[in-house]
Each structure stands twice: as C-alpha cells, then as structure tokens.
C-alpha cells in the first residue's frame, strides 16, 4: 500500500512539473537561434553561450523593469519636465552659439549647444568615470541600476573625476515606495526619489536582490552600522530628440533611455542592433547611454546594459539611432547635487 501511494505521489509530481513547464516554457531554443541568424542585421550569440537559454517565460520577465511603457507607442506615459537643449529641428552638428537658460526647481541652469563629434564616449573625456558591468540577475531592477549608475558617473564628470563613487541601487529597490522593488519601477519616480532623498554607496548597502529576487527591508544605517551619507540629484528632465540627448551626454555625462525590448534583442552578440521583422514585444527596459557613433553612414547609440558581461559586447551594445522601440522618446537625465 505504501509503495502504491509513493508511486502515485511520484506520478502526481511528474504531471505537475509537466504542466508547469508547458505553462512557463523556455523562450530560447537552438531552432530559434538558427532562424534569427538568417534574418538579423547584427551578430547573434551562439546557443550554447546564450545567457538566457535556460530561462523560462516568467524568468525572462524579470529582465524588464520599466513600468508604464505603452505597448503600442512604446512611450513611457509619466515623464518629467522637458528641457530644451537645441531647437526641436536642430542638428547637433550645426555650429551654434545659443545658450538657453531655463528655470527648474533647483534654479537657473545654463545649457550650451556645441559642435559634437561624429563618434563619442564619455570615458574619452573622463577616463576614470564609469563602473564595471553589473548583472541584475533575478530582479527586474534595470530602472534602479541604470539610474544610480548614471548619477554616479555624472558626479564624477561634474567634479572633473575628483569624486568617484559607486552608488547603491539596492537602496532604491528597498526604500522607494513609489516603485515595486524586484517587480520594476517608474523612471520618473526613481529620479524623484534621488532628488528628494538620494542614495548611499554600494559598500554601505550592497545589491543582493539579483541573487534570488528577494528585497531586503529598507535600512536606517549602513550594513556595517555607520550612518548614511546621501548623494542626491537635482530635478530630472527629458528630451525631445536625439540631438538633445547627444548634447547632454557630451556636456554632462551619461543619460538613461527606456525602450521596448523584443525577443530578438535577448540574442544580440555584437554589431548595431536593429529590430528584426516579426520579433515579439516583451517589455520595457532601462539602460545607461554613454555615447554614440557612426558606421556605414548610420548613427548608433553606445549603451551599457545590466545583464552581465556574458551578454552583448562585454555587457555593452550598440543601438541604431532613430530606428525603433521608443528609444529617443524615453530619454531621462538629472544633474548631480554637488
């Protein structure tokens, strides 16, 4: 009798696992990679090296943490104030001596339009500004990782590389009540959090949610018991076009872009990414934009992702400019409060 009950239990477990697998299948297969290689405009990663080949549909969902992405227009519905860096029809390569002065909540800011190079990365002018590629892991925390990294880079740029810090994304994930921890967040609300409260250093409150998707309680002191020291941002702003985005990167450091991710993007290995016809929309993602370039007459953005060094070009990627996915419609930035 006990043997029969045990066999029945094993059958039930096996059936349950089969149902679960069917309801939550893997998205990456050898055939899907072979088919993508035939039609993609960029180099596709080999299946055996694919960082997401064992991920199920629900696990893939944890890569996309941008809330409020309109699935039709690919625009983020909630945004901060727009800040004009150039005329709406301006060309970033056109000489101009216009200096706009705008009043934001933090006062008057001089915004200078300059002649920009065809190829540029922030680290060319500020070689000590930048950090290692992170892996968000099992947490939809791209919004927190990208924004905290952009702020730390801008602190470095603003102080001419005299202040180099690594900021805690975990503090945003654990303490910002307007976001949803490992279930994603709002880009504008995250910027508001850094404006009102700020963030501490990574050593004070390290990132751990990527290991298992668990969000630790918001702390009142650093892990070692020392008091918090906060790094804050000024009021965030958005952009009207790629020219404004480039101008701000050149003058102030990296910015954030939210964009719609399709399933072909998961398999990017190198080259300039262009959306593959027939690809399936997966969700909204946020990355740090660190520069731009031009290849065969086509411009592209240079971006840092949060999927580890095993993805893309060592964790980075190039994205065709003014091409798709709401990339230029969802640019955000904020100056550091120094």
Q: Which residues belong to the active site?
A: 142, 285, 305
User: DSSP class of residue 135?
Assistant: B
- What is the C-alpha to C-alpha distance for residues 85 and 88, in angstroms, rounded to an integer? 9
Q: How many helices (H) and strands (E) does the chain have?
A: 9, 12
- The two structure tokens encoding residue 182: 């490992």
**Alpha carbon 148 to its chain's center:** 10
Angle between helices 142-158 and 187-196 (to 10 degrees): 50
Q: Are 334 and 235 spatial neighbours (Cβ–Cβ below 8 Å)?
A: yes
User: DSSP class of residue 46?
Assistant: P
- What is the C-alpha to C-alpha distance for residues 140 and 256, in angstroms, rounded to an integer? 16
- What is the C-alpha to C-alpha distance for residues 197 and 184, in angstroms, rounded to an integer? 19
């Amino acid at each position: 009798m006990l043997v029969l009950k045990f066999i029945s239990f094993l059958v039930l477990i096996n059936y349950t696992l089969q149902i679960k697998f069917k309801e939550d299948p893997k998205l990456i297969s050898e055939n899907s990679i072979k088919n993508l290689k035939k039609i993609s405009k960029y180099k596709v990663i080999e299946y055996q090296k694919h960082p997401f080949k064992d991920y199920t549909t629900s696990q893939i969902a944890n890569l996309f943490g941008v809330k409020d992405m309109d699935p039709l227009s690919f625009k983020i519905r909630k945004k901060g104030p727009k800040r004009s860096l150039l005329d709406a029809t301006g060309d970033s390569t056109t000489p101009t001596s216009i200096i706009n002065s705008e009043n934001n909540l933090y006062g008057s800011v001089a915004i200078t339009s300059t002649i920009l190079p065809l190829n540029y990365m922030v680290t060319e002018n500020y070689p000590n500004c930048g950090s290692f590629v992170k892996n968000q892991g099992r947490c939809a925390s791209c919004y927190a990782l990208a924004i905290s990294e952009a702020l730390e880079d801008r602190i470095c740029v603003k102080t001419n590389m005299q202040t180099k810090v690594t900021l805690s994304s975990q503090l945003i994930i654990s303490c910002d009540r307007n976001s949803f921890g490992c279930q994603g967040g709002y880009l504008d609300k995250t910027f508001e959090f850094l404006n009102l409260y700020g963030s501490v250093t990574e050593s004070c409150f390290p990132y751990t949610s990527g290991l298992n998707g668990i969000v630790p309680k918001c702390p009142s002191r650093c892990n070692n018991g020392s008091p918090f020291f906060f790094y804050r941002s000024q009021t965030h702003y958005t952009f009207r076009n790629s020219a404004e985005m480039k101008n701000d990167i050149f003058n102030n450091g990296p910015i954030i872009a939210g964009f719609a991710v399709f399933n072909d993007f998961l398999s990017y290995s190198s080259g300039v990414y262009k959306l593959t016809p027939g690809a399936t929309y997966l969700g909204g993602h946020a990355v740090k934009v660190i520069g731009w370039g031009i290849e065969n007459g086509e411009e592209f953005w240079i971006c840092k992702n949060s999927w580890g060094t095993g993805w893309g070009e060592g964790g980075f990627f190039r994205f065709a400019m003014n091409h798709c996915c709401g990339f230029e419609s969802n640019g955000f930035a904020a100056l550091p409060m120094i």
